[in-house]
Amino acid sequence: MSALSDALDELSSDVNIVDFYADWCQPCKTLAPLLDDAFAEHGSRLNLIKVDADENLDVCKEYGVQSLPTVLVVQRTDSGSYVEINRFTGSKPSAFLDAFIQDAVQAAGVANGAVT
C-alpha cells in the first residue's frame, strides 16, 4: 500500500480529490487557489488531498501521473482499494473546476448511499 492509500484510509469519505503538484510548477500555482475556492464551495462531502509530486514519486508512478498539475477523483471499492473515476491535467478555469467537483460530489453521494 502506498502513502496515499494510507492517507485515504484515514478519511471518512469514500470519494476523494487528489491534487498532484510541485512547488516549482507555475500551472500548479495558478490552479491551487481556484481549486481551493471551488472545493470550499462545492466539496463538503469530499476531502481534498494535496500530494507533492517531488516528494512522492512512487505515488505519482502508481497513479500514472506524468504531468503537473494532475487532479484525480478516487473512490474506495468494497475491497478497500482505490480506483480512479475521473482526472484532469493542467490548469483549468473556475467553471470547469466547479463542474468537476460537483460531479465528484454526486459520485460521493452515490457511493455513500445518499439520494442526490
Q: What is the pTM of this model?
A: 0.86
C-alpha cell of 73? 477523483
| Mean pLDDT of successive 10-residue stretches along the chain, which has 116 residues | 71 85 98 92 83 94 96 90 93 95 84 48
What pLDDT score was predicted for residue 13?
76
Q: Is 25 a catalytic residue?
A: yes
What pLDDT score was predicted for residue 78?
87
Domains and CATH numbers, the chain: 3-110 (3.40.30.10)
Q: Is 60 a catalytic residue?
A: no
Spatial CB neighbours of 68, under 8 Å, sequence gap ≥ 6: 20, 21, 22, 25, 27, 28, 53, 89
Residue 112 phi, psi (nearest 5) = -95, 5
Considering the candidates 17, 25, 71, 97, report the single residue annotated as catalytic. 25
Considering the candidates 15, 18, 28, 71, report the single residue annotated as catalytic. 28
- The set of long-range contacts for 6-10, using a CB threshold of 8 Å and a minimum separation of 24, is 7/49, 8/49, 8/74, 8/76, 8/82, 9/80
